[in-house]
Amino acid sequence: MPRATNAPASRERRKRVVDAARGYRGRRSKLFRYAKDATMKAKYWAYRDRKTRKRTFRYLWIQRLNAAVRAQGMTYSRFAEGLKAANIGLDRKILSDLAITDAVAFGAIVGQVKTALENKKNAKKEAAA
């Protein structure tokens, strides 16, 4: 009995992999054996770096906030503490955008944070006395 190779399906599968490798250099875009490895690595890197991108953007927002808050005479860690004390639920992305685009609104938020920190400090003193 002749060997069944399932040629149309395997050819289609290989073609799909080689088509996914379009734009890669050299053999990686032309030959199935190399295209398979290249596309697998590309998918691995894409998955990994989607997570990394989120992480690096968070670092960027924190750096921007730190610079903007230091211009107002405060550190980032104190600012974060004050945000919690003032019950301001804005995330770092929005705060960073405000610091860049709307300095007046950001200044108002920093003012609220400073008063919340003062109130927290005074309440602590009263509790100790």
Tens digit of pLDDT for each residue in 64-100? 999 999 999 999 999 999 999 999 999 999 999 999 9
Q: Is residue 3 part of a domain?
A: no
Q: Is residue 18 part of a domain?
A: yes
Q: The domain spanning residue 120 has which CATH number?
A: 1.10.1900.20
DSSP structure string for 48-114? HHHHHHHHHHHHHHHHHHHHHHHHTT--HHHHHHHHHHTT----HHHHHHHHHH-HHHHHHHHHHHH
Q: What number is the average pLDDT over the span 14-38?
A: 97
Q: Is residue 1 part of a domain?
A: no
Q: Is residue 2 part of a domain?
A: no
How confident is residue 4, by pLDDT bands cut at 50, 70 and 90?
Answer: confident
Q: Give residue 55's pLDDT.
A: 96
How confident is residue 1, by pLDDT bands cut at 50, 70 and 90?
Answer: confident
Q: Is residue 80 part of a domain?
A: yes
Q: Give residue 127's pLDDT.
A: 85
Q: Is residue 46 part of a domain?
A: yes
Residue 88: CB atoms within 10 A of its CB come to: 13
pLDDT of residue 31 exceeding 80, the answer is yes
Q: Give the residue numbers spanning the domain of 67.
A: 8-128
Q: Is residue 74 part of a domain?
A: yes
Q: What number is the average pLDDT over the span 91-118?
A: 95
Q: pTM for the whole thing?
A: 0.78
Q: Is residue 124 part of a domain?
A: yes
Q: What number is the average pLDDT over the span 19-31?
A: 96
How many independent structural domains does the chain possess?
1
Q: What number is the average pLDDT over the span 4-16?
A: 93
